């Protein structure tokens, strides 16, 4: 909080000192958004007007690492920041700085020379600390009328940097934290317990609020990622998904501010096209979501297991044989309604959590895992296994995905991913594992995955037709490949990391599954070569683009790889222009 206050104080200084460069006049092509410094950029008086309209909650951007550069260098604060640079906390609390180091692009970095200027780079110029739909409407209208790029930032988890944009006005949703439990929600499309979450509610706050009402909702594995922002709008896989489906499958209604500045409620029967589009293909595309109401499920005992294999002293062949046995066991874990979150690296195999939402007996869990563990015993591979039954889902979550509230995941990596369909995983686990082996043993990439069955059945029935990428339904698992991408490595090394992911790892995955099988848009490749229309949206794309044109013909909302985003491109100077 102290740090935020200091940064807030810095704002005025930075704005004042940057005025000379903004006086440069440059005419903007009519098809482009304006940037600070253009003659068409709104005057100070206009920004002041907006600031009054939003109750003084307009914030001039200051990158987090401004305190690490002249003229605002402050050693103590800079060191404090460095200690926290890989934790989600500082980004969640920042109106503008995203977690992805790739998108930050070291334009204001705590590890670079203090004499280098701190620049906004890809970050927004201003953010509105919104407290409700009126602030959002004011921001959307201002951006549209003044041809300013609009961005929406919640926590800043997005791997593709979709929550930021150069020269933009950001709608910062972090403080939309209301939670309303509706024990007896009753509409034609669903009757039963439901919870309404403001769009700034985090995953952990969502599941804790549900627990307090004796309920569960499928939040993600990362406690600090938002619930109602990019997570559920992008589909949202949860440790509970094997039992209840994707998070988007539980959506009952959305309160959303559209591009024309109107606030609507989209349900399966009213603005049903927006309902459909937001549930799976939504982030940064159709409007600013103010809240989502989701169905909730009865809480109760939750089964869990973790199993790790240390590679030290183990031959590569034996180790990978063990991983193959794990792959062979996954269909049984999925059939049990489980989700397996696991990763493989140069040093270990780690089943971080097998979550079994309906299991309440440790022997039952050991039994489920016994084919796998017997196979490991047979090849003499040692492992650490622990199983548990916790009284509530939150207790389970704490044990496996803590420490709370920030979790164990470090931020900033570069990402790529792909669905692996059951047809391939089950028919040829050896082939799947040989590709894993190449990627893990020939690069520094961390290979992770969540496996769960989210095909539609009577337990996992979406509330209504939605835009969850169809590839999810036939996937046995979705893999993600994460490469370390720190700001302390050289430009050449960054390029090498990018190439390892795109030119090597993704091509190895291609040899297993064709790219059109799809990928999870929230954990997918940043590569500009990717055919994202097919990979991220599949057969829904045409319908989605029609909805986009109907509600946002001027592309007020734009983000890389969002539906319809090929209408605009980012020019060399970072300006967003008509393609």
Ligand X SMILES: *[C@@H]1O[C@H](CO)[C@@H](O)[C@H](O)[C@H]1NC(C)=O
Ligand Y SMILES: Cc1cc2nc3c(=O)[nH]c(=O)nc-3n(C[C@H](O)[C@H](O)[C@H](O)COP(=O)(O)OP(=O)(O)OC[C@H]3O[C@@H](n4cnc5c(N)ncnc54)[C@H](O)[C@@H]3O)c2cc1C
Q: Which of 39, 262, 270, 371 forms a contact with ligand X (CB under 6 A)?
A: 371
Task: For the CB of residue 538, give the shortest distance to ligand X in the complex, in Å.
Answer: 26
Is position 280 an interface residue for ligand Y (rule: CB under 6 A)? no
189 preceded by cis ω (within 30°)? no
The pattern of x and - marking residues 368 through 407 that bind ligand Y according to CB under 6 A reads ----------------------------------------
Crossing angle between the packed helical segments 75-83 and 2-17, to the nearest 10 degrees = 120
* Per-residue CA distances from 365 to 290, 327, 356, 388 (Å): 40, 17, 8, 8
For residue 129, the partner it binds in ligand Y, ligand X, none, with Cβ less than 5 to 8 A by kind, is ligand X
- How many alpha carbons lie under 13 Å from residue 86 in its C-beta half-sphere? 10
Could you tell me which residues come within 8 angstroms of residue 417 by beta carbon, excluding any fewer than 6 positions away? 478, 479, 480, 481, 519, 520, 523, 524, 525
CA distance 464 to 139: 31
Q: Give the span between the Cα atoms of 83 and 110, in whole angstroms.
A: 10
Establish if 147 lies at the interface with ligand Y (CB under 6 A).
no
- Is residue 373 a contact residue for ligand X (CB under 6 A)? no
Dump the DSSP string for 376-432.
Answer: HHHTT---EEEEEEESSHHHHHHHHH-STTT-SPPP--EEEEEEEEHHHHHH-HHHH
Segment 321 to 340, residues that bind ligand X, using CB under 6 A: 332
221 lies in the binding site for ligand Y (CB under 6 A): yes
- Verify binding: residue 523, ligand Y, rule CB under 6 A: yes
The option from ligand X, ligand Y, none interacting with 220 (CB < 5 to 8 A, set by class) reads ligand Y
Output the smallest distance, CB 83 to ligand Y, in A: 19
Report if residue 555 touches ligand X, rule: CB under 6 A. no
Query: Rg for the chain (alpha carbons), in Å?
Result: 24
Which of 65, 201, 222, 351 touches ligand Y by CB under 6 A? Answer: 222
**122 near ligand X (CB under 6 A):** yes
Q: With binding defined as CB under 6 A, does residue 4 bind ligand X?
A: yes
- Tokens found for residue 228: 């109602």
The reply on whether position 230 binds ligand Y by CB under 6 A is yes
Q: Give the whole-angstrom CA distance, residue 103 versus residue 97.
A: 10
292: helix, strand or coil: strand
Rounded Cα distance, 335 and 100, in Å: 35
Any contact of residue 156 with ligand Y (CB under 6 A)? yes
Q: Token digits for 516?
A: 């059109």
How much of the chain is helix, strand and coil, in % rounded to 5? 40, 20, 40
Residue closer to ligand X by CB (options 57, 348) is 57
368 is an interface residue for ligand X by CB under 6 A: yes
| CA atoms of 169 and 229, how far apart (whole Å) | 17
Which one of ligand X, ligand Y, none interacts with residue 4, CB within 5 to 8 A by kind? Answer: ligand X
Site pattern 170..189 for ligand Y (x: CB under 6 A): ---x----------------
Q: Judged by CB under 6 A, does residue 426 bind ligand X? A: no
51 binds ligand X per the rule CB under 6 A: no
When asked if residue 105 is in the footprint of ligand X (CB under 6 A), the reply is yes
- The entry of ligand Y, ligand X, none near residue 571 (CB within 5 to 8 angstroms by kind) is none
Q: Which residues contact 442 (CB under 8 A, 6 or more apart)?
A: 504
Nearer Cβ to ligand X, position 176 or 343?
Answer: 176
Angle at 258 between CA 162 and CA 151, to 5 degrees: 25
Taking CB within 5 to 8 Å according to partner kind, which of ligand X, ligand Y, none is near residue 230? ligand Y
Is residue 222 at the binding interface for ligand X, with CB under 6 A as the rule? no
Which residue among 33, 149, 157, 418 contacts ligand Y (CB under 6 A)?
157
Closer residue to ligand Y in complex, CB, 226/303: 226
Nearest CA-CA partner of 481 in 511, 453, 519, 515 = 519
Contact range with ligand Y by CB under 6 A, out of 182-190, 214-222, 260-268, 537-545: 214-222
Binding mask 233-272 for ligand Y (x = CB under 6 A): xx-xx-----------------------------------
* Position 10 contacts ligand X (CB under 6 A): no
C-alpha distances (whole Å) from 470 to each of 128, 419, 424, 456 are: 35, 11, 17, 11
Residue 430 has, within 13 A of its CA and on its CB side, a CA count of 2
User: Of these, 333, 409, 419, 472, which contacts ligand Y (CB under 6 A)?
Assistant: 409
Note whether 154 binds ligand Y by CB under 6 A: yes
**Alpha helix locations (H) across 250-340?**
272-281, 316-335
Q: Which residues bind ligand X (CB under 6 A)?
A: 4, 8, 57, 59, 95, 102-103, 105, 122, 129, 131, 175, 332, 367-368, 371
Q: Which residues bind ligand Y (CB under 6 A)?
A: 152-159, 162-163, 173, 199, 220-222, 225-226, 229-231, 233-234, 236-237, 283-284, 288-289, 409, 411, 522-523, 559
């Amino acid at each position: 909080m102290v740090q935020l206050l200091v940064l807030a104080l810095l704002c005025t200084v930075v704005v004042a000192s940057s005025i000379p460069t903004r006086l440069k006049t440059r005419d903007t092509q009519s098809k482009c958004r304006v940037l600070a410094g253009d003659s068409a950029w709104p005057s100070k008086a206009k920004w002041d007007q907006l600031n009054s309209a939003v109750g003084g909650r307009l914030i001039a951007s200051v990158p987090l690492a401004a305190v690490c550069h002249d003229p605002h260098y402050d050693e103590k604060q800079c060191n404090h920041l460095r200690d926290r640079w890989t934790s989600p906390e500082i980004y969640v609390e920042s109106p503008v700085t995203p977690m992805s180091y790739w998108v930050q692009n070291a334009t204001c970095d705590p590890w670079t020379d203090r004499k280098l200027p701190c620049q906004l780079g890809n970050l927004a110029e201003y953010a509105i600390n919104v407290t409700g739909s009126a602030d959002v409407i004011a921001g959307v209208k201002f951006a549209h009328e003044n041809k300013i790029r609009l961005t929406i930032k919640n926590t800043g988890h997005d791997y593709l940097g979709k929550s930021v944009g150069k020269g933009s006005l950001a709608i910062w949703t972090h403080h939309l934290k209301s939670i309303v439990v509706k024990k007896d929600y009753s509409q034609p499309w669903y009757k039963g317990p439901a919870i309404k979450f403001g769009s700034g509610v985090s995953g952990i706050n969502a599941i804790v609020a549900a627990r307090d009402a004796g309920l569960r909702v499928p939040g993600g594995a990362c406690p600090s990622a938002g619930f109602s922002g990019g997570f559920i709008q992008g589909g949202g896989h949860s440790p509970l998904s094997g039992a209840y489906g994707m998070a988007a499958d539980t959506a009952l209604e959305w309160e959303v501010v559209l591009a024309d500045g109107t606030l609507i409620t989209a349900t399966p029967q009213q603005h049903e096209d927006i309902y459909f589009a937001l549930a799976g293909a939504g982030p940064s595309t159709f409007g600013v979501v103010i809240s989502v109401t989701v169905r909730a499920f009865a809480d109760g005992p939750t089964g869990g297991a973790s199993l790790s294999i240390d590679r030290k002293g183990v031959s590569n062949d034996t180790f990978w044989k063990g991983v193959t046995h794990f792959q062979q066991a996954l269909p049984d874990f999925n059939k049990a309604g489980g989700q397996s979150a696991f990763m493989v690296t140069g040093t270990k195999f780690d089943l971080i959590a097998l979550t079994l939402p309906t299991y309440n007996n440790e022997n039952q869990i050991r039994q489920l895992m016994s084919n796998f563990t017997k196979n490991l015993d047979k090849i003499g591979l040692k492992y650490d296994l622990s199983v548990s039954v916790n009284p509530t889902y939150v207790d389970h979550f704490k044990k496996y995905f803590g420490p709370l509230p920030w979790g164990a995941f470090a931020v900033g990596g570069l990402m790529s991913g792909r669905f692996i369909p059951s047809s391939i995983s089950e028919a040829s686990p050896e082939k799947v594992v040989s590709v894993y082996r190449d990627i893990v043993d020939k690069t520094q990439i961390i290979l992770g995955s969540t496996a769960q069955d989210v095909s539609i059945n009577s337990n996992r029935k979406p509330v209504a037709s939605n835009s969850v990428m169809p590839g999810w339904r036939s996937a046995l698992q979705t893999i993600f490949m994460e490469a370390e991408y720190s700001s302390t490595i050289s430009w050449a090394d960054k390029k090498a990391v990018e190439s390892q992911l795109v030119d090597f790892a993704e091509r190895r995955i291609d040899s297993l599954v064709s790219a059109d099988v799809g990928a999870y848009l929230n954990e997918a490749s940043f590569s500009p070569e990717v055919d994202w229309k097919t990979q991220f949206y599949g057969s829904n794309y045409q319908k989605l683009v029609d909805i986009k044109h109907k509600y946002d013909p001027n592309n007020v909302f734009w983000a890389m790889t969002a539906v319809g985003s090929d209408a605009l491109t980012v020019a060399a100077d970072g300006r967003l222009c008509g393609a």
